[in-house]
Structure 1
Amino acid sequence: MKICILGSGALGSAIGGALAEAGSEVYLINRRKEYVNSINAKGLILRSGIIDRTIKVQARTDCKGIGPVDLIIVLVKSFHTKQAIEDASELIGDQTMIMSLQNGLGNEEILAEVVGKERLLGGKTYVGGVMLGPGHVLAGIKNKYTYIGELDGSITGRVSRVSEVFTKAGLLTVVSSNIIGIIWDKLLINVATGALSGITKLTYGDLYKIPEIRDCAFEAISEGIAVAKANGVALSVENPEEIWLKAAEGLPDEFKTSMLQSLEKGSVTEIDFINGAVVRWGERSNIPTPVNKALVANIKGIEYWIKNNSINV
């Protein structure tokens, strides 16, 4: 299968490297020339445990010259989704599938506006990756599941083909008839800790010691559950405490949420696609979401302060 990954950071490289190693024709798109040049010169180095292996894969700073592909995997930051898929127009042929594995909620809507809903597959992955250096990635693939599915819940030949390619590459993949529910399950895990960690600057070890933070998280999660149910979304878990605990499952005390990492780098966050998504869907459904609104306001305030002071938090 010919596959292009838009936004090949640590996660995209881990997935793309596994797919390439298993025989797919893979193109990694990353805007950083240093990263692209390293991979094209030396190969992509994936580390599993303490063992490094080198994988031959093609890297580009843009999509020019690649031609139509079978599958586009979108892994850019959510606020770059529209631009990324517009810039990838030459990758899209008659049978091209497009699948987001991004954080949060709302990327499928953006993609559908540009390419049409009929091309889309839904997806959510628990695979992880850590960038060790240009073209060198620690890949967290073992025992980590990826869920994919048609947005309407049907089981089709095309989604089964993608699952087979992923499974062949060692990526544990499940075809789901409820991919929207799975996307919401992951959203609520991000709602539980992302903004609270970003606001307080606390890693998980300290975040989980403070009862008031836990209580606030429960309220934010409960709002998300109410909004999901009002929109007919079937969740796998509807207990805020269970979601709160699941958010930290298997993670070290020093773990930082992606939202905190973004703020520490002086970058904008994906708040609009996480807590902000709960707020938007709540407004559509007349479900109040005051805690999520407050968390969004706080993160927006921090982003504004960073931008206008030109220094990290």
Structure 2
Amino acid sequence: MREIKKVTIIGLGALGILYGHHLSKKMPKVDLRIIADRERINKYEKEHVYCNGERCSFTYLSADEPCEPADLLIFTVKYNGLKDAIQAVKNHVGEQTIILSALNGISSESVIGQVYGEEKILYTVAQGMDAVKEGNQLTYEHMGILCFGEQEPDLISDKVKGVAEFFDKVELPYEIDTNMVKRQWGKFMLNVGVNQTVAVYESNYGVVQQEGKARDMMIGAMREVIALSEKAGVHLTEADLDYWLSVLATLSPDGKPSMAQDVEARRPSEVELFAGTVLHLAKQYGIATPVNQKLYERIQLIESQYK
């Protein structure tokens, strides 16, 4: 396993800025590449990108610029930008490239794997960050951790060890998980509850961190994912629910999940990735998911009222 030296990130949303800014202070500027289209690059270079008040110093490449393949490629785009992103990174994928996808949901790894090969991919979950992005400014209190591992349970491969060594070197908080499919479903359960409920209430984490209707709605949506996980053979439990609620409790009450930020900015949200996926699986398994049905309808209504 060769040492990770060249890193590419695609997607300068909250996670892309968070990890990009951290890595930019820990490795040579030329070895960290941010992929974006030419129009975006011009905007970034003119207006700059800021993380907790510090100006980010990034090396930008457009998709068609020739370059050495990345040793580590990190996807931090929104799900609805994944297809374009997969095409945009083609010059950055070589034989030895390891791919991490920090996207929400439970399907991005297989989508990327169909194009570049499952063997390049480590399953990944980004959790515990409370980053809020407004315009070109990102602020956060908690960086959270990147959890990663092989899809196959109980296996710590050379790829996993290589990424861990690199993250140790650049001091990026991480955790190796040998049951990543369950971890992904757990994060999916959290997102289905938190992202959608906070978006519908047009509020922040604080609204679901305290007892009340919003928290009840969130937990109801999460329990529907537990029921689906049984049918899918993943077997989430109430103990998993408690674990993810404890992760939620660590976040800044003023922070907001990405979907609430989308609704505030009147952007299309990832509702199809959350309630949309739940409703699709519910139909497949013959289970009723009334809370997610309600959330789906409410968020679609909110989006239909954008001017």
Length-normalised TM-score, structure 2: 0.84
Return the offset for 1:141.
5.9
Query: Which amino acid letter does the alignment assign opposite residue 9 of structure 2?
Result: I
Aligned partner of residue 249 in structure 2, secondary structure: coil
State the partner residue of 1:79.
80
Unpaired runs of 5+ residues, structure 1, are: none
1:110 aligns to 2:118 (yes or no): no
* CA distance, structure 1, for counterparts of residue 165 and residue 265 of structure 2: 38
Aligned length: 297
Q: RMSD in angstroms over aligned alpha carbons?
A: 2.9
- Identical-residue share of aligned pairs (%): 27
1:191 aligns to 2:195 (yes or no): no
Return the offset for 1:157.
0.2
Return the offset for 1:263.
1.2
Do 2:132 and 2:261's aligned partners in 1 also have CA atoms closer than 8 Å? no
Do 2:207 and 2:214's aligned partners in 1 also have CA atoms closer than 8 Å? no
- Listed as ranges, the matches of 1:17-96 within 5 Å are 17-23=21-27, 25-31=31-37, 32-34=40-42, 36-37=44-45, 46-47=51-52, 52=54, 56-62=57-63, 64-96=65-97
State the partner residue of 1:273.
273
Do 2:201 and 2:214's aligned partners in 1 also have CA atoms closer than 8 Å? no
Length-normalised TM-score, structure 1: 0.82
* CA distance, structure 2, for counterparts of residue 183 and residue 241 of structure 1: 13
Aligned partner of residue 5 in structure 1, secondary structure: strand
User: Structure 1's 152 and 291: CA in aligned 2 closer, same or farther, altered over 3 A?
Assistant: same
Return the offset for 1:156.
0.7
* CA distance, structure 2, for counterparts of residue 112 and residue 288 of structure 1: 31
- Listed as ranges, the matches of 1:97-176 within 5 Å are 97-126=98-127, 127=129, 129-131=131-133, 134=136, 137-138=138-139, 140=141, 144-153=144-153, 154-176=155-177
Q: Which has the higher strand share?
A: 1
Unpaired runs of 5+ residues, structure 2, are: none
* CA distance, structure 1, for counterparts of residue 156 and residue 283 of structure 2: 32
Do 1:63 and 1:90's aligned partners in 2 also have CA atoms closer than 8 Å? yes
* CA distance, structure 2, for counterparts of residue 244 and residue 119 of structure 1: 28
Aligned partner of residue 299 in structure 1, secondary structure: helix
- CA deviation string 1:158-180 (max 9, x = no partner): 12101111122111222211111
